[in-house]
Amino acid sequence: MIQLQLPPKLADGPFSFNGTLKASKEFIAILDYGLSRLSAENLELKKQMMSILIKKTQTLEELMQLGNKHQIQSSLYELEQEGFITRKVQKGEEFNIFSYEFNRASLLFKIQKELEDNYEKYKEQRDYYNANVLFYCKKCNKLFEYTSAMENTFQCCGEPLQSFDSSEAIKNLTANMAYIEVKLNSFAKI
């Protein structure tokens, strides 16, 4: 038995560079998708940073002009941790100079790998829902395959199991797979 959890329906990210970035629409679509996977905190600032860093490497001092020190630093940290940018340190006489540059190859590889992994995961889940007659418990949301339900006399938590209609889950999974296929096809055009 597994915990009942319907797959979320994917949607395009909350971003659109709308002409602020001179790049192919496929590249922008992939970048939008990547940015939509980041935390919601300071999203507009992260988008603004990416627009700047894609064009040219910037120093920390230059990036600090974009706003609040804490927001800048936490946004840079997340962008670096997620592979969007790379930090370089140049030793200075009095202090180190930090600069940031867009990490195109690494980012594209990471996003493509994530999309491919998610596609396979959704495909496996869809195949599972298609191949099995399922039942679920209304109280604890556990999902049972027919054999397991039968072994438990079609009962869980002292109540009868309900038949599970997996058509909505299959529909969501198929939509997610189609969305991912579009994003993966964008890689061929970059």
By CB neighbour count within 10 A (0-12 exposed, 13-18 middle, 19+ buried), where does 22 fall? Answer: exposed
pLDDT tens digit string along 68-127?
889 999 999 999 999 899 999 988 788 888 999 998 888 899 999 999 999 999 999 999
Number of domains in the chain: 2
- State whether 121 and 148 are in the same domain: yes
DSSP 8-state symbol, 82: T
Residue 182 and residue 133 share a domain: yes
Q: How far is CA 46 from the centre of its chain?
A: 15
Does residue 128 sit in helix, strand or coil?
helix
Give the pLDDT mean for 128-147.
93
Say yes or no to pLDDT of 60 above 70.
Answer: yes
Inside any domain, residue 17: no
Compute the distance between CA of residue 47 and CA of residue 43 in angstroms, rounded to an integer. Answer: 6
